[in-house]
Every structure is written in C-alpha cells, then in structure tokens.
Amino acid sequence: MTIGIVGAGQLGRMLALAGYPLGLDFLFLDRSAAAPAAALAPILIGDLADPAQLRKLARRSQVISFDWENASVEGLRAATRGLPTRIAPPLRALATGQDRVAEKRLFERLGVPTTRFAAVNSRAELERAAARIGLPGVLKTRRLGYDGKGQRVVRDRAALAAAWRALGSVALIYEEFVPFEAEVSALGARARDGSEALYPLTRNWHADGILRLSVAPWEDRALERQARAHLRAVLREFRYVGVLAIEFFVRDGRLIANELAPRVHNSGHWTIEGASTSQFENHLRAIAGLPLGSTALLGHSAMVNLIGRMPARAVVLGEQGVHLHDYGKQARAGRKLGHCTLVARSAAERNRRLLRVLGRLEVALASAP
Amino acid sequence: MTIGIVGAGQLGRMLALAGYPLGLDFLFLDRSAAAPAAALAPILIGDLADPAQLRKLARRSQVISFDWENASVEGLRAATRGLPTRIAPPLRALATGQDRVAEKRLFERLGVPTTRFAAVNSRAELERAAARIGLPGVLKTRRLGYDGKGQRVVRDRAALAAAWRALGSVALIYEEFVPFEAEVSALGARARDGSEALYPLTRNWHADGILRLSVAPWEDRALERQARAHLRAVLREFRYVGVLAIEFFVRDGRLIANELAPRVHNSGHWTIEGASTSQFENHLRAIAGLPLGSTALLGHSAMVNLIGRMPARAVVLGEQGVHLHDYGKQARAGRKLGHCTLVARSAAERNRRLLRVLGRLEVALASAP
C-alpha cells in the first residue's frame, strides 16, 4: 500500500520511518528535492497545490495524507475525484484547522471552552471587537499562521492601529489575551472503525512562538480527564481518521482550547521512544485501515526541539539514553532542525536528566519545568 | 556523512531506518532494485563484488559497511585503495567470519571453547577427520554457508560417502556433532575509541537451520559472564568497530562457540524495541565514530521471525504491544520476510504473550520456551 503525503517535511520523514516497518510505501509531494523526507522516499516535485502533481499523487497512492496543515482542501478534493484514493484525516478537519474562526466555532459548538473571539474584516470591526472583548488581546491572521507567525499581542489602543497596519490586508481574528499558567496538548488517534488510542496529557513550553520543550505524562488527573473528553468530542465530530492534536492553555485549573492540528504534532514527538506505539505509527495504522497500537507509556519522557543550529552529534549522543532525531535540514535561525528525547523511570529522574541536557545543548527556553 | 552498504537486504533496511534520525545518509549496492533497503535509500545496481560499482560506492561514502557477511574482502580492499573511505567492521573480521576453519582457529587462539574440527580437502582427509573426531559429526562447506545451507549431519560411515558426494567439490570442515541443550548468542558493539556496549545474552531457537525465535534477556548469570568475556576477547582481537555477534551452543552449562557474524544479527532484532539503543543504531554510531548508546533493557523481549509467508498485517498489529517489521520482500518458502517483537514487564508475562502470538501467527517452531 502506498501512502501519498503532501509535504515532505520532518513530519513526513518521521511518518515514513515509522511506516516502512509496517510494509507501507510512500510517495511525497514537495517543492524541494532537498526536503527532509525526500532522502528516504520517492518524491514528486511541485507546489503543494499543483493540480497536476496532486492528481499524480492521488493516482499512485491508496491513501493521501499531509504533513502540512495548510494543504489545499480544494486541491485534494479535485485530485481524488473519481479515484478510489482515500484522504485522511478528513478534509473537513483540515479545512477547520486552516481557519481560526471555524476552529473557535467548532470548539464552541462542541462545548470545548475556548478564548472569546471575533472575526475581523475591517478596521471598524477591530475597534468593536477590542471594545467588546477588551484589551489586551491578540490579533491573528485567520489563515496560514504557525509558530507564532501572523499574530500580534495588542496591549492598548495605539497598538491596535499598528497591529492593523501589520496584518490588516487579510482576514483576521481578534482574541481575548489569556494570561495562562501552562500550555498542554492532547493527542490521540482514531481508526476507521471508530476505535480510539489516546496519549496522556503533554505539557509544552514555547519561546518566540516556537515549541521548545514537551514533557509527558503531565500528571494532572483532572486536566487529563477534561482534555480527553474534548479530544474525543472533536474526533467524533469529524468521524476522524488519523492523529489529531489540540493545544490548550491552562488557567485557574481549567483548559482553554487554543487550536487544533489535524496531523501528527511536534508535542507528540516524545511518543517515538516514550510510548509503545508512536504517534507516527498510529497515524499510519489509522489511515491504512489497520488496528491502532497501544499507547502505553514506557516511562517519563521529555522532548527538546533543536532550533536554528544543530549541536554536535557527539554531544547529544554522548548523553546516555538521549535519542537524536536529525531532520536533515539546512540550518537557519528559528528553523526546527531536529529534536532529542529522553525517557526516565520517574518524573524526578526525567527532570534531573532534562536539565542537564538543556545545559549541555544550550537550548534557550522561556521557562523550564 | 554517507554510509555505503554492500547488500541492501533487511539488515541494510533496518540500518537505514536507524540511521536517518542520526542525520546519516545511505547508499547501497545490490543486485536488485527490489531489494528491501532500495525503497528507502539510493542504490547502485550490480554484483556485490563488482569492482566498478564498489569503487563508486567507496568514492561516494565516508564509511563502507556490509549487510552480508560474504561481501568480498578483496573487492572492498581494492575499492577503498587511495581513498579516505573507512571500512567497518574490519576486513580481518569479515575474512575470518567467511571461513569456518579460520573462525575455529580464532576461537582456539583466544581460548574460546569451540567444537573439535578438521579442515577437509579430500575424501581421505574426511575419513581421517571422522576417525579422529568421531561420528556423528557435521560436514560443512568452509565458505558461503548460511541458514543451515551447505551442511550435512553425518551419523555413520555410509552417510560420510553421501555427504562427500553432496559437498565435496569445495573446501570443507568436519566438526564434532554437539548435542546441545540450548543455543544462545552474544551481541555487542565496539567504538573506534575502544569503548564497548554489550547486550544481554539472547536465547535462540532454530528450525530447519533458520532462526525462528529469540528471547532476551536469557537470565543465566554464569553463561552471560562467559559469553561477555568471549565476545570482548574477539572484539579486542580485531580492534573491532561496529556490532559483532557470536552464536554459541550450551552443553552441560558451558558455552561452545559455533560461529561469529561481523555485523548486526537476526538474534539482535529485539533490541529495536527492547533496548534503549538498538543494535542497528549502535552499529552506525560505532562505524560513524560517534559515542555508543545505552544498551539498557526496556523489558523482557521476544522476537519471532516471519518466514515463507507474511501473516495478515491486521492480525499481527491486532495483538496489543506487538511490533511488526515487514522487510518488503516477495514471499518465498523458507525466506525471512519480516519479524515481530514484543516487550513485557516480566519474563513470565513475555512467555505468556509470546505463546499467544505464536499461536495466532501459526509460526512453526522446533521447540518453544
């Protein structure tokens, strides 16, 4: 069975690494033959929305998935028309994840607490939204934002004008600013037959809008119960197939949904070593129509993103029990180049080893556990 | 760094899967573009001893290794002449592993107990060997034997004549027949700086000359101590770099070395899920000049080879906690097509789950734990 994947980034690369042992084959579509997944699978070169290349991908694959949440919904629908090729996760989830307003409306409809928000299409709407929701707030593009790009925190009315000038050329959303205590994510897979395999709650730390560090399990029973219920609600709403992630803020012991990602997620990379079945394998099992694998934990995990420049390989591998994942990318400031993971017998041991690793790798964090 | 690998079989495939996360690239040489590793790395097509292709492999790689123990020693030496390309494991170990007589002599020289043997180049030498070593015995080709091929158990003088007719066209070895109680293997890596990372003792079950099942750790302290000492002696003798396996018979609580394999080994496949660092990753770390990884156990593992035909994927994956490794090969009687692994918290739980898996997969075994 060939899995076609739109986008050949690190997520696609890790999907292929997890899928070959299952006997799956892969075909990627990406703009660049130097993309991370291109080293280890055949690739079609073209724009990710190129109709001819998408059609070729659909003809040569039994299932199409995507490693990029902005894959073209219309392009995928057209490419598979008249073909038996399946698309997973479902296009409705992909479309919802691409529009922050649709995402918030979904959360509201399903009773998943989220930030107060307003769609903003004009300067006047922005003024009204700020008046109703209050300041400070966050102005974001509805589409194509990632890793903190396309958003501005607005602290006062003067900043409102500046934010409008910076972002106002496209459809926007104005959101309540949430002074959260923590960020967590819920991650799980749903199979075609409706069975589910959920991972434990993961706690995340960002800096400059980019995920730096995740630890799992984040042992807060009450939060985990809430997160699982919310994740299940979204999985069922979409009759979802594949892995889905939802990011939450935590405030006053309550979850506030921030956004969803209809794909494997950076905050789930620890599952490669830390769970019996990784998010990558479970995504593939789901979309290939196979039974989901156990999400049993193998210990207490920490995952550190390697951003901007790679530390010397021998430094990372010199730390006993640390696993390296090099995405094979050219270094560039702010770019995710790889990650490393450690798994320990206890949370205390994990934190102790993690702090040593962070020190050795000189990873900059806004805060640490 | 590009690792060139002679042979693109399942061992090469699993090496590439372990090596991409380390940021390594791969280039294979194999006769067939349908070889298991060819799906996930570039490949040169040609005979494994083809001088021009070996030279191309050497020019394009920083290190050359092999997934086949009969890789051409002379061919590799010639291919790397005048180039900075390293070869690992060392050619001396490769050469020794290719000749059963050299192997036995090595064991004798290092004080590693082995079977009594005699080199046999004529019918008269065979008669003398049988008279000296006794009957029953085993007549084997000195070279190119694997998975039970190229050998005959000789129970009486009449069988001696038949065995000679079957095998006598090439150089042979006559060995004492060892009615062993168990087969075990020792597996470990040695790095360029002389550091070592040894795995615990693995117990193996063969049928029809092919490995069917391995379980690890095989908790026999006395045997493990002996096995480690023997493994270390061989690693040091060769100033070895990479993973080395030695297979032993167990008789009356003592080890008898049967053969060595200067490469990753089928009896070490359980390390992918069962150890902190797999044999594949440690082989690559060693040959790439990186620090070795921890061989700490993640539980009690069992590995079952899938031979001749693949069970339905959903049947294997439907067993919770069972990991599938499909080599992407065409099915053929007696061919190793894949393996599956399970890791449990105790030996008792492992054995219980293993017996269920063996039943579901209908794996034929000569004996079971």
Where residue B62 sits, what CATH number does that domain have?
3.40.50.20
| Residue type present at position A294 | S
Looking at the fold, whether A12 and A74 belong to one and the same domain comes out as yes
Looking at the fold, whether B295 and B341 belong to one and the same domain comes out as yes
Find the angle CA(A363)-CA(A364)-CA(B1) to the nearest 5 degrees: 35
Contacts of B22 (CB under 8 A, 6+ apart): A313, A317, A324, A326, B281, B284, B285, B288, B290
Looking at the fold, whether B230 and B328 belong to one and the same domain comes out as yes
Contact flag B23-A321 (C-beta cutoff 8 Å): no
Closest Cα in chain B, distance from residue A246 (Å):
25
Contacting residues of B for A338, CB less than 8 Å apart: 23
Nearest to A321 among B39, B294, B343 (CB): B294
Looking at the fold, whether B354 and B219 belong to one and the same domain comes out as yes
| Residue after which a domain boundary falls, among B130, B158, B176 | B176
How many of the other CB atoms lie within 10 Å of CB of B210? 17
Closest CA to B105 of B251, B260, B334: B260
Looking at the fold, whether B231 and B264 belong to one and the same domain comes out as yes
How many of the other CB atoms lie within 10 Å of CB of A254? 12
Q: How confident is the model at residue A147 (pLDDT cuts 50, 70, 90)?
A: low
Residue A158: per-residue pLDDT: 87
Distance CA B121, CA B144 (A): 16
Looking at the fold, whether B247 and B314 belong to one and the same domain comes out as yes
In a domain, A99, yes or no: no
| Residue after which a domain boundary falls, among A160, A176, A192 | A176
Looking at the fold, whether B11 and B48 belong to one and the same domain comes out as yes
| Residue after which a domain boundary falls, among A176, A198, A227 | A176
Q: How confident is the model at residue B75 (pLDDT cuts 50, 70, 90)?
A: very high
Looking at the fold, whether A199 and A164 belong to one and the same domain comes out as no
Looking only at the bridges linking them, the beta strands covering A63-66 and A2-6 are parallel
Contact flag B20-A41 (C-beta cutoff 8 Å): no
Structure confidence by residue, pLDDT tens digits, A167-197: 888 999 999 998 899 999 999 999 999 999 9
Mean pLDDT of B44-66: 97
Mark out the alpha helices in chain B (DSSP H runs): 10-19, 51-60, 73-80, 91-97, 100-109, 123-133, 157-167, 221-237, 271-274, 279-287, 313-317, 347-361
Closest Cα in chain A, distance from residue B362 (Å):
19
Contact flag B294-A23 (C-beta cutoff 8 Å): no
C-alpha distances out from residue B284 to A119, A216, A218, A356, B188, Å: 53, 29, 34, 25, 13
CA-based nearest residue in chain B for residue A276: B321
The answer, yes or no, to whether residue A95 has pLDDT greater than 80, is: yes
| Residue type present at position A28 | F
The answer to whether residues A79 and A51 touch, using CB atoms and an 8 Å cutoff, is: yes
Distance CA B96, CA B160 (A): 27
The secondary structure of A280-324 as a DSSP string is HHHHHHHHTTPPPPP--B-SEEEEEEEESSPPPHHHHHTSTTEEE
Find the angle CA(A88)-CA(A93)-CA(A96) to the nearest 5 degrees: 150
Distance CA B279, CA B268 (A): 6
The CATH number covering residue A129 comes to 3.30.1490.20
Structure confidence by residue, pLDDT tens digits, B154-196: 999 888 889 998 888 899 999 999 889 999 999 999 999 999 9
Closest CA to B306 of B223, B248, B362: B362
Mean pLDDT of A338-345: 96
Closest Cα in chain A, distance from residue B246 (Å):
25
How many of the other CB atoms lie within 10 Å of CB of B135? 14
Distance CA B202, CA A214 (A): 35
Residue B363: per-residue pLDDT: 64
Length of chain B: 369
Distance CA A146, CA A11 (A): 15
Q: How confident is the model at residue A360 (pLDDT cuts 50, 70, 90)?
A: confident
The answer, yes or no, to whether residue B366 has pLDDT greater than 60, is: no
Helix (H) or strand (E) holding B120: strand B117-120
* Average per-residue pLDDT for chain B: 94
Looking at the fold, whether B22 and B45 belong to one and the same domain comes out as yes
The answer to whether residues B216 and B201 touch, using CB atoms and an 8 Å cutoff, is: yes
Contact flag B314-A324 (C-beta cutoff 8 Å): no
The answer to whether residues B67 and B12 touch, using CB atoms and an 8 Å cutoff, is: yes
Distance CA B267, CA B211 (A): 8
Contact flag B338-A40 (C-beta cutoff 8 Å): no
In a domain, A368, yes or no: no
- Count structural domains, chain A: 3
The secondary structure of B256-289 as a DSSP string is EEEEEESS--GGGTTHHHHBSS-HHHHHHHHHTT
Tokens at A166, concatenated: 């910076």
Residue A367: per-residue pLDDT: 42
User: Which residue range forms the structural domain that includes residue B259?
Assistant: 182-361
Distance CA B44, CA B295 (A): 33
In a domain, B98, yes or no: no
Find the angle CA(A47)-CA(A50)-CA(A55) to the nearest 5 degrees: 130
Distance CA B278, CA B208 (A): 27
How many of the other CB atoms lie within 10 Å of CB of A299? 20
The answer to whether residues B311 and B264 touch, using CB atoms and an 8 Å cutoff, is: no
Find the angle CA(B213)-CA(A14)-CA(A194) to the nearest 5 degrees: 80
Looking at the fold, whether A156 and A268 belong to one and the same domain comes out as no
In a domain, A97, yes or no: no
| Residue type present at position B121 | N
* Secondary structure string (H, E, C) spanning A124-143: HHHHHHHHHHCCCEEEEECC
Distance CA B65, CA B181 (A): 34
Nearest to A313 among B23, B320, B324 (CB): B23
Looking at the fold, whether A217 and A332 belong to one and the same domain comes out as yes
CA-based nearest residue in chain B for residue A325: B21
Contact flag B294-A318 (C-beta cutoff 8 Å): no
Query: Cα B17 to the chain's mean position, in Å?
Result: 18
The secondary structure of A1-18 as a DSSP string is -EEEEE--SHHHHHHHHH
Residue B368: per-residue pLDDT: 42
- pTM for the model: 0.95
Length of chain A: 369
In a domain, A100, yes or no: no
Find the angle CA(A150)-CA(A153)-CA(A155) to the nearest 5 degrees: 155
Mean pLDDT of A274-296: 97
CA-based nearest residue in chain B for residue A25: B39
Looking at the fold, whether B172 and B135 belong to one and the same domain comes out as yes
Helix (H) or strand (E) holding A90: none
The answer, yes or no, to whether residue B270 has pLDDT greater than 90, is: yes
Contacting residues of A for B321, CB less than 8 Å apart: 276, 293-294, 296
How large is the C-alpha radius of gyration of chain A?
20
The CATH number covering residue B337 comes to 3.30.470.20
In a domain, B99, yes or no: no
Contacting residues of A for B298, CB less than 8 Å apart: 298
Contact flag B23-A338 (C-beta cutoff 8 Å): yes
In a domain, A94, yes or no: no
Contact flag A291-B23 (C-beta cutoff 8 Å): no
The answer to whether residues B123 and B164 touch, using CB atoms and an 8 Å cutoff, is: yes
Residue B362: per-residue pLDDT: 73
Sheet holding A2-6, edge to edge: A43-45, A25-30, A2-6, A63-66, A86-87
Distance CA B245, CA B121 (A): 28
Residue B96: per-residue pLDDT: 97
Chain B residues with at least one Cβ partner in A under 8 Å: 13, 16-17, 20-23, 25, 39-41, 276, 285, 290-291, 293-294, 296, 298, 310, 313-314, 317-318, 320-321, 323-326, 328, 338, 343
Mean pLDDT of A296-315: 94
In a domain, B97, yes or no: no
Mean pLDDT of B266-282: 98
